[in-house]
Amino acid sequence: MSARDEILGRIRRSLGVNGREAGRRAIVIARLAGAPKGVIPKRAQLPHADQVALFRTMAEKSYATVASVAGIGDVAAEVAGFLRAHNLPASVRMGADPLLSEVSFANTSIEVRRGPSDGNDETGLSRAAHGIAETGTLILTSGPENPSTVNFLPANHVVVVRAEDVLGDAETAFAALRARYGKGLLPRTVNMVTGPSRSGDIEQTMLFGAHGPKRLHIIVVG
């Protein structure tokens, strides 16, 4: 018996159940099928333009930097500007995301490396499935299009999100993911990222890059 089985067994014995009760199983099945929403604060129940503005405000409060560009054709110049501003190598690591594949770096000196990161990349470039206005959070889904290693191993992370993909709250964002992929068929990993990695555990001093990228730059397209 594994430690997990032993712990769950103790819980069942303390509750006086065996896990096969029809009534209890029906409750669980109904809850999973219904995907009930939590309470949605009014803060993000705004016209869409105001949601995008709130997303930017909240992301910047969490130490991210945010830029807005008119279209996907402007992303390369913005990425180049970010790299220059921080004296970073002219190189990015990215996956096979269809939207990012439309970005042409031909007029820049940036070297584009494809596929998962092995930890030796200074800058990763990803696309977010959604932005959450309420908290300035990015939702990043795993897969060949956007490998999770690109999100967390490079010291700098640049994330592209379409303005139309910015939603008011997490509940609405997860409903959109379920609609896109099918219920129970989400990607293996769905990461929610708010600002760069940071910790204040040591003497209450903010340290960036504690468990992931020390910089997060968000490019809102549209």
pLDDT, residue 125, reads 98
pLDDT, residue 31, reads 82
Report CA-CA distances (Å) from 94 to 33, 48, 91, 117, 213: 35, 29, 10, 8, 15
Mean pLDDT value across the chain: 92
Burial string for 51-84 (b: 16+ CB within 10 Å, else e) reads bbebbbebbeeebbbbbebeebeebbebbbebbe
pLDDT, residue 48, reads 96
Assign 136 to helix, strand or coil.
coil
Q: Using CA of residue 105, residue 109, residue 115, residue 117, what is the dihedral sign? A: negative
pLDDT, residue 24, reads 84
Assign 12 to helix, strand or coil.
helix
Share of the chain above pLDDT 70, in %: 99
Tens-place pLDDT, residues 26-35: 888 888 887 7
Burial group, residue 213, by CB count within 10 angstroms (0-12, 13-18, 19+): buried
pLDDT, residue 7, reads 93
Tens-place pLDDT, residues 8-18: 889 989 988 88
Tens-place pLDDT, residues 109-119: 999 999 999 99
Instruction: Please state the CATH superfamily assignment of the domain spanning residues 42-221 in this structure.
Output: NagB/RpiA/CoA transferase-like (3.40.50.10420)
Per-residue tokens: 120: 């030796």
Burial group, residue 210, by CB count within 10 angstroms (0-12, 13-18, 19+): middle
Query: What band does 41 get if pLDDT is binned at 50, 70 and 90?
Result: confident
Number of residues in the chain: 222
Of the given ranges (130-139, 156-165, 185-194, 209-218), which has the lowest mean pLDDT? Answer: 209-218
Listed in order, the ranges of the chain carrying CATH 3.40.50.10420 are 42-221
Tens-place pLDDT, residues 127-150: 999 999 999 999 999 999 999 999
User: What's the CA gap between 131 and 172, in Å, rounded?
Assistant: 11
User: What's the CA gap between 157 and 123, in Å, rounded?
Assistant: 6
